[in-house]
Amino acid sequence: MPRFKVTLEYEGTRYSGWQVQKNARTVQGELHRALHSVFASAEFELYGSGRTDAGVHALGQVAHLDVTTVLAPEIIRMKVNDKLPPDINIIEVEKAARTFHARHDATARSYLYQVSRRRTALGKRYVWWVGDALDTGRMRSAARLFSGMKDFRSFTDDDPEEKSTKVFIDDFRIEEADDLILFRVCGSHFLWKLVRRLVGVIVEAGRGRLAVEDVPRLFDAGTEIPAKLTAPPSGLFLERVYYAGDQRRSELRPVLSVTHER
């Protein structure tokens, strides 16, 4: 059965995450419905590079699709997009090696998080509005403490008895773009709620309510502070999934500007 690499984007506001669930609308569930419509009785299998939580968006989610078809990749893309809701869009379909696996072959993943310094009506689904003054210097100092291989068991709801909670973070950048503060974190893989809790802790440091020197204490397994500081899903985007040979992105750009033109 031929295998295809599928790259897609979606706005996660209306969905209960990526993975198919009973009695819940998900991105993968919508893709399954569209694929059933296009390929009729043909059997297919679709595997994502990883899950995204309810309300989280994607700029470059990757999946692999196994299906027997004579349709060219570009025709598959157009036909499936015609059956998808407007907040899910397939960017590209490519032929892939039979051994390619969207999840297991990924070498790194990057996430983008957007914090807005001002209240916004048009961008509220894509940002976390923080009304307090934020010190980006303190935030950058806090972010540096998460680089390298760390045990993030206190930053996730994943069970450390069932899977490793150690993650290697090789890049964590914070930049300002007008009224937005942009976070990009790139690492080997990510745990459930990890990025949102990292952002929440760093914003708390930026507010001045958490001392930067106290951040390392949050790695203690018994603390509940990261969970209490979990940032909302609205500002989070799965930016890109990297595979062998892919070049890392250097630019950090907002998904939507919330600058007020005077």
The residues annotated as belonging to the active site are 53
Burial code of 177-211, b = ≥16 C-beta within 10 A, e = fewer? eebbbbbbbbbebbbbbbbbbbbbbbbbbbeeebe
8 A C-beta contact, residue 205 and residue 139: yes
CA pair distance 157, 221, nearest whole angstrom? 12
d(CA 88, CA 136): 33
Q: Which helix (H) or strand (E) holds 166?
A: strand 166-177
- Phi and psi of 43, rounded to 5°? -80, 145
**What single-letter DSSP state applies at residue 105?**
T
**Measured distance CA(104)–CA(50) in Å, rounded:** 10
Letter for the amino acid at 258? Answer: V
Please, are residues 250 and 71 in contact by the beta-carbon 8 Å criterion? no
Find the angle CA(262)-CA(184)-CA(55) to the nearest 5 degrees: 80
